[in-house]
Amino acid sequence: MHLFEPFECRDVTARNRVMVSPMCQYSCEEMDGLATDWHLVHLGSRATGGAGIVMTEATAVTPRGRISPQDLGIWSDEHAEALRPITEYIESQGATSAIQLAHAGRKASTYRPADGRGPRRDEAGWTPVGPTSEPWPADEPLETERLDIEGIERVIDAFVTAARRAVDVGFDILEIHAAHGYLLHEFLSPVTNTREDDYGGSFENRTRLLREIVREVREEIPEGTPLFVRISATDWLPDRKSWTVEDSARLAGDLEPLGADLIDVSAGGNHPDQQVPEPGPHYQVPYAERVAESGVPVGAVGKITTPEGAEEVVRNGRADLAIVGREHLRDPYFTLHAAKELGYEAPVPRQYTRGFD
């Protein structure tokens, strides 16, 4: 297996094993969740640049599920239709389109990074929701609403409805975001989930919401549509009872029979006390290797910044996909440059052939 070998999953074949990581752009300037020209150019240029799979940023399934007011959404048909030009363009470039469906949970209603981050208390903000009323730790945290059973059912329905909309406007692959301290991760981890009902306490109960979403989304979408799940393999909180890589491997084994086709393995984000290891090259790849021991295909992310590094991850069987984030921000044509450097053939847009002769 090598980086430019096609990736086959259900009825989808991606032209190579490079995936553009979902990266928030905070560019819905009207604060309405609708995709803009920025999203089209940002995602489209990575498709033109040769990536096998191009995934949107975290796309909120409800208005309150956005991280910031400038985040993408897919909570209505209008939002879905605004994404259609993106799927059409990605397909026209020979790449595979993917969307990450997300709910920010208690980490919602913040200022975007360019505006200073932090809780948003003005009229553009809202009350976040979570597994409990415990807010995201901050100097002046936002009041957080504990989801009751009816609220949980509404979240499940929102993911299912968003999945149907995503398929209808042409996305080839769907991903459920259960990482980085957002709502589904908050339910998974004992750090943030201290409920005493069927959705808290034991491992089985804490994973129940994600399992129900995966099962119901799988039942809603076509059999041939791949379904990925992004998780944080660890909370990076060794000083307390928390979510661990062993939990993640167990979860992966539970999700595959429900219809999950690949686990996108990231880490952290669930608490500001996290102890992040030195972020050297490929520092999160060992987590993907551990999760892969469950027998489920995995994608690896985290400081994969060179063609040789991406090739090593795939060729040595450490992951099925090399998920490249920040390097794609620096170089939209990373994949074409990687093919040339590694000696592989990759289709270059006819308009650009002079640059790759």
pLDDT in tens, 63-94: 999 999 999 999 999 999 999 999 999 999 99
Cβ(274)–Cβ(236) under 8 Å?
yes
Count how many domains the chain has.
1
Evaluate whether residue 2 is within a structural domain. no
pLDDT at 220 exceeding the cut of 80: yes
pLDDT at 7 exceeding the cut of 80: yes
Q: What would the pLDDT profile of 301-338 be if each residue is shown by its tens digit? A: 999 999 999 999 999 999 999 999 999 999 999 999 99
3-state secondary structure of 280: coil
C-alpha distance from residue 321 to each of 17, 177, 298, 329, 341 (Å): 5, 17, 7, 18, 19
Indicate which residue of 182, 199, 287, 333 is catalytic. Answer: 182
Average pLDDT over residues 133-137: 96
d(CA 33, CA 159): 16
- Read off the CATH number of the domain in which 78 is found: 3.20.20.70
pLDDT value, residue 139: 82
Evaluate whether residue 308 is within a structural domain. yes
pLDDT bracket for residue 23 (50, 70, 90): very high
Beta strands of 30-166 (E only): which ranges?
53-60, 96-102, 129-130, 145-146
Q: What are phi and psi of 265, to 5 degrees?
A: -100, 110
Considering only 23-32, 132-141, 168-177, which range has the smallest mean pLDDT?
Answer: 132-141
pLDDT bracket for residue 153 (50, 70, 90): very high
264: left (phi over 0), alpha (psi -120 to 50) or beta: beta
Q: What type of residue is 170?
A: G
Evaluate whether residue 311 is within a structural domain. yes
pLDDT at 357 exceeding the cut of 80: no
Evaluate whether residue 271 is within a structural domain. yes
| Active site annotation includes 344 | no
**Containing domain of residue 134, as a range?**
7-356
Cβ(159)–Cβ(101) under 8 Å?
yes
Predicted TM-score of the model (pTM): 0.98
d(CA 273, CA 73): 29
pLDDT bracket for residue 347 (50, 70, 90): confident
Burial per residue of 60-75, b for 16 or more beta-carbon CB atoms within 10 angstroms, e otherwise: bbbbbbbbbbbbbbbb
Evaluate whether residue 1 is within a structural domain. no
Average pLDDT over residues 182-189: 99
% of the chain surpassing 70 pLDDT: 100
Q: What would the pLDDT profile of 235-275 be if each residue is shown by its tens digit? A: 999 999 999 999 999 999 999 999 999 999 999 999 999 99
Tokens of 73: 């959404």
pLDDT value, residue 138: 84
Mean pLDDT, the chain, rounded, equals 98
